[in-house]
Structure formats: structure tokens, C-alpha cells
Amino acid sequence: MKSSIYVFNLCGLFFIVVAIVYGFYTDFTELVGFPALLLVGLMAMMIGVYLWLTDRRVGRQPQDNEDAEISDADADYGMFSPWSWWPIASAAAAAVAFYGIAMGWWIFPFGVVLGIIALVGLTYEHDRGDFAH
């Protein structure tokens, strides 16, 4: 995590310096490049500061150890069902809802209803049938 902190803070500092230099070259009259470069620098600094604060709170991470193994960073990602069709139904419902936003608002409620059905099915798929616990 230490290297990520350095990369983001150095990139942020670089973009802020470039924004100031760019602003002086354009006499601060060009109102797209200067604010964009400044915001990119500030956002990179924001991520760097967040990582720094997280590193202070969490402590030493396996990626900071030179002798660490890949298995040292393994975490429990939860339980996933490889046989489940509900993620496809959720994606289809989201596609219908977004299509409704783009093409006609009368389609959007159908996507919302399909999304609710898919979400309930995804949530309760282990509570019935062969896979009930």
C-alpha cells in the first residue's frame, strides 16, 4: 500500500504543478484545461490521502512485505453459487430499466419490477429447494 500512496500523491502533485504552469501559459483565460488538470491532481491527492489514512489505521499489509506469499493476502470473499441464473436476470432487469430511461419512461417501471423479482430471487435462492440450509 505504501507504493500506491507514493504513486497517487506524486501524480497529484505533478498534475497540480502542470495545471498552474498551464494556467500561466494561457493567462488563466482557457477555462477547460486548467480546472480539469487541477481537479485531476486534487482527486489523485484525495486517493493518496485516503490510502495513507487507511494504512495508518490498518497497519502493515502483506503487499508491503518483501517475503510475502500470494496466499498471505487471501481473504474470504463469501459464498457464490456457480449454478445461479439470478445474476443474469438482474442484469436483464437493469438493461430494461436503463433502456426505459433512454427510450421511454413507460418502460422503466417494467425494469424496476423485474429488478425487484431478480433481487428477491437472488437473495432467497439458498432458502428453498435442494439448496436450503
- Listed in sequence order, the residues at least 6 apart from 132 whose beta carbon sits closer than 8 Å to its beta carbon are 126
Please give the backbone phi and psi of residue 65, each rounded to the nearest 5 degrees, phi first.
-90, 125
Give dist(CA 76, CA 86) in Å, integer. Answer: 22
What confidence category does residue 56 fall into, taking pLDDT thresholds of 50, 70 and 90?
Answer: confident
State the greatest distance between any 2 C-alpha atoms of the chain, in Å, as a whole number.
70
Digit-coded pLDDT (tens) for 13-35: 999 999 999 999 999 898 899 99
Q: Are 118 and 89 in contact (CB under 8 A)?
A: yes
Q: What pLDDT is attached to residue 129?
A: 66
What confidence category does residue 132 fall into, taking pLDDT thresholds of 50, 70 and 90?
Answer: low
Which of 108, 118, 57 is CA-nearest to residue 84?
Answer: 118
